[in-house]
Structure 1
Amino acid sequence: MSRLFSSATMGLVSLKNRIIIPPMCQYSANDGLPTAWHNSHYMNLALSGAALVIIEASAIAPEGRITYKDLGLWNDEQAVAMKQMITDIRQYSDARLGVQIAHAGRKASCDLPWLGGKSLSTADVNGWQTVAPSPLAFGHNHPPKELSVDEINEIKQQFIDAAKRAEQAGIDVIEIHAAHGYLLHEFLSPISNQRQDEYGGSFENRSRLLINVFHEVREAINPNIAVGVRISATDWLENGWDVPESIELCEQLEELGCDYIHVSSGGISPEQQIPLGPNYQVPIAQAIHEHSMIPVIAVGLITQPLQAEAIIATHQADFVAIGRGILFEPRWPWRAAAELNEKIDVAPQYLRSAPHQFKNLFQ
């Protein structure tokens, strides 16, 4: 029996296999509201055979968006629209649905990637003032404003409020974004956090905001909803956030009831040196997996079914996230099932689509 297609749980959420579709920004919202693009995109992904689809980073505040076209959960209208999208998907798919709640910090206020993705200033029509733990710019981006303690407390409440809206929308899983150089990661990393107060300096101080956000979100949300955290486990920079600190962070999150850790890396600085290649982040996920009982999602150039199967079978991680690869091949789980000699559930409308040699693939 394939381990990739074995069932598993995240907290109280049951998953039919170990294939996860991670959050991938589409930059196609209007005032934070999902559009017809999102309705089609997430319906397609939910019919892929993956056990869990995590909706892209949804900003907790307008100034927390990466671009002016990001999804949001900072108001009730957005929650209602997301609920309608989820209701429509669930008419046809039994995939679990999650959402990532996020604040982009000093990497906010950018143009759309296909328009160059440049940093936009307050003088630009679609730009705004960014915020961060310290007034240090990301590369050549416009400099952020340093957050006051009162503003930090306000952001913490915005995470809690966004999580409550995700619950109202009917989400199964909530992922707190603390990776890729965005705000919560900016607090964790000494590269971007040079504060001298209770939110800077020591590991305890730098991790304080994420720990508090997780604890209060977990307390505010129904226990039937899984709450996890995505981290960048290393900055790939000398004197940056590193794997030992990530292990210590995950041990603390485990004590607070974290349901999973989604392990990525990098994003804090353009100076990072990442050794890209197949499975390049899997050893980091494995290091965390070996030091805690929290279910771990591995990600990073995992593209082949046998590759994914080996990660699960050798206990390097509990789940694999197939991101860009599944945008290129939206039925990747079907191919994985065929290669691993497994059956897979599909929508009845597609039952006749399997080639003759795979006629026993669908159930």
Structure 2
Amino acid sequence: MGSTFRSPHLIKAEGIPYFTPANNGGAALNPDDPNTPTLFRPLQIRDVSLKNRIMVAPMCTYSTESDPSSPAVGALTDFHIAHLGHFAAKGVGLVIIEASAVQPNGRISPNDSGLWQEGTESEQFKGVRRVADFIHSQGAKVGIQLAHAGRKASTVAPWLSSEGKRSSIKADESVGGWPSNVVGPSGGEEHIWAPGDVKYWPPRELSTAEVEEVVRAFGRSAKLAVQAGVDLIEIHAAHGYLLHEFLSPVTNRRTDKYGGSFENRIRIVQEVAAAIRAAVPSGTPLFLRISATEWLEEQPVAAQTGSWDMPSSIRLAKLLPELEVDLLDRLQPHTNYQIDLAGELRKAIRGVGQTTLVGAVGFITEADAARHIVQGAEEALATESVLSGQEPKADAVLMARQFLREPEWVYNAAKQLKVPISVAWQFARGVL
């Protein structure tokens, strides 16, 4: 076979020590064709170009080494290459690595991933590097969600819970937990979630200096992630984890510069964004995940303290350009209503002349629904809250559980929407 033979399936992917063709599955063959849905059109975010607008949302898998004395504690493994790499091989534009703790006590469980070990020779760094290299070999981009679990830390994996798959139980020292070092914006027995709670340890309150160290930890982890080949960073400020705990007046009763007013409660998110921006190249996209509302507006606690709600999210969203946040990943696990909340946020952002992107996530399962979310569909997903005209409700869709059920979702969606796309060479015989 001559050296001038350039058949694409014989071009080796760069950055990995074994052979696989340089794949680019999931890319529209005719992206400029007016009949190509927005879902399959490229999306440029700073220096990163995504081949489509389909993203794998972060999913905790509780599958790393938990022994705190092991150099591999919190490091991604071959499991994560198989798990995340398969989505890349099946055509997604972006794969976001699961919530990775910036400090050891920021893990949800002892088996969670982390990126707090400094240096490019650490096992945590090398684990991220291997995952990123494989995802890139399949033509996809890779992000990482940096996180701190706060007062929801030191629990066991959900499948170990005696209360069923949807609950968690406390992890003590015998299983690698850290019950005396579970932290939050406020602390004490009065800050357990409910009387007799078996899910979470009572937190201790972080000192001002400790909060400032958390901020620095986010910056260090972001720098390591980019050095390991990660294309973009997502800040996790949702789901009741640490940054969300600071945002919410329900869980933040502090009296220092990080508590009280809205401006003080969002300070940690502002500082984390600034720390990451200072640590990564200017062309690196930055995402922020928030919960649009805590759904506590009608609860007694909201009457006492207030809560994080849609007006709060809109207020924060309008500040994102000055934080240099490129995409607001707005999650609210509450049926299809969350898509309308994403649309409301996007409309508010555009209404003040800003261009921050919005990602919709949660209970997106069907190709046609995904197309409508980013296209500004001819028919509404929810007739009572449709946006005017053809304005889309989001700029990208993020899915998690649907990819667990249907890893080949991108290929199936392209077939249903009649979009010609490229396919990974190893799968072409079974897909085309």
**TM above 0.5:** yes
Whether the aligned pair in 1 keeps the contact of 2:273 and 2:324 (CA below 8 Å) is no
Q: Within the alignment, does 1:244 sit opposite 2:311 as a pair?
A: yes
CA distance in 1, matches of 2:400, 2:210: 33
Residue number in structure 2 paired with 1:181: 240
Q: Which amino acid is 1:25 matched to?
A: C
- Per the alignment, residue 337 of structure 1 pairs with 414
Aligned to 1:118: 168
2:189 is equivalent to residue 127 of structure 1 = no
Partner of 1:291: 348
Deviation at residue 17 of structure 1 after TM alignment: 1.1
Give the superposition deviation at 1:89.
Answer: 3.3
Q: Does 1:84 align with 2:130?
A: yes
SS in 1 for 2:318: helix
* Equivalence map 1:202-351=2 (5 Å): 202-238=261-297, 239=302, 240-265=307-332, 276-277=334-335, 279-292=336-349, 293-314=355-376, 315-351=392-428
In the alignment, which residue of structure 1 is the partner of 2:225?
Answer: 166
**Are the counterparts in 2 of residues 7 and 15 from structure 1 also a CA contact under 8 Å?**
yes
Read off the aligned partner of 2:283 and give its amino acid letter: N
Identify unmatched segments of 5+ residues in structure 2.
1-34, 66-72, 162-166, 350-354, 377-391
For 1:123-152, what per-residue CA distance to the aligned partner results, in whole angstroms no more than 9, with x for missing partners?
Answer: 544221200001122342210000000100
* Equivalent residues of 1:49, 1:344 under 8 A apart: no
Conserved in 1, the CA contact under 8 Å of 2:286 and 2:325?
yes
Structure 1 length as normaliser, TM-score?
Answer: 0.92
**Identical pairs, percent:** 44
| 1:98-124 superposed Cα distances (whole Å, 9 cap, x missing partner) | 000000000000011110153426554
After TM superposition, give the deviation of residue 291 of structure 1 in Å: 2.0
Q: Does the 8 Å contact 2:136/2:142 carry over to 1?
A: no
| Structure 1: gaps (5+ residues) | 267-275
Q: Verify the 8 A CA contact 1:99 1:166 in the aligned structure 2.
A: yes
Counterpart AA for 2:116: W
Provide the residue aligned with 2:206 in structure 1: 147
What do the CA deviations read for 1:189-240 (whole angstroms, capped 9, x no partner)? 0111111221111100100000111022112210221111111111111231
Rg larger in 1 or in 2?
A: 2
Residue equivalent to 2:115: 73
SS at match of 1:334: helix
Deviation at residue 23 of structure 1 after TM alignment: 0.2
Letter in 2 for 1:187: F
1:353 aligns with 2:403: no
Structure 2 residue matching 1:101: 3-state secondary structure? strand
Q: Is the 8 A contact 1:120 1:126 kept in 2?
A: no
In 2, Cα distance between the equivalents of 1:262 and 1:81?
A: 25
Q: Secondary structure at the match of 1:71?
A: coil
Secondary structure in 2 aligned to 1:343? coil
Alpha carbons of structure 1 residues 329 and 306: separation in structure 2 relative to 1, 3 Å? same
Paired residues of 1:227 and 1:258 also in contact (CA < 8 A): yes
Counterparts of 2:171 and 2:406, CA distance in 1:
37
Q: Report how many residues are paired.
A: 344
- Normalising by the residue count of structure 2, what TM-score does the alignment of the two structures yield? 0.77
Structure 2 distance, partners of 1:160, 1:214, is: 8
**4+ residue segments displaced more than 3 Å:** 121-125
Gap change, CA 1:254 and 1:173, over 3 Å in 2: same
Deviations along 1:155-196, one digit per CA (max 9) or x if unpaired, are 111101010110111100100100000000000001111112
Aligned AA for 2:232?
A: V
Do the aligned partners of 2:59 and 2:400 also contact (CA within 8 Å) in 1? yes
Question: Residues of 1 paired with 2:131 and 2:415: CA distance?
Answer: 30
Query: Secondary structure at the residue paired with 1:352?
Result: helix
Query: Which deviates more, 18-27 or 82-91?
Result: 82-91
| Aligned AA (2:59) | M
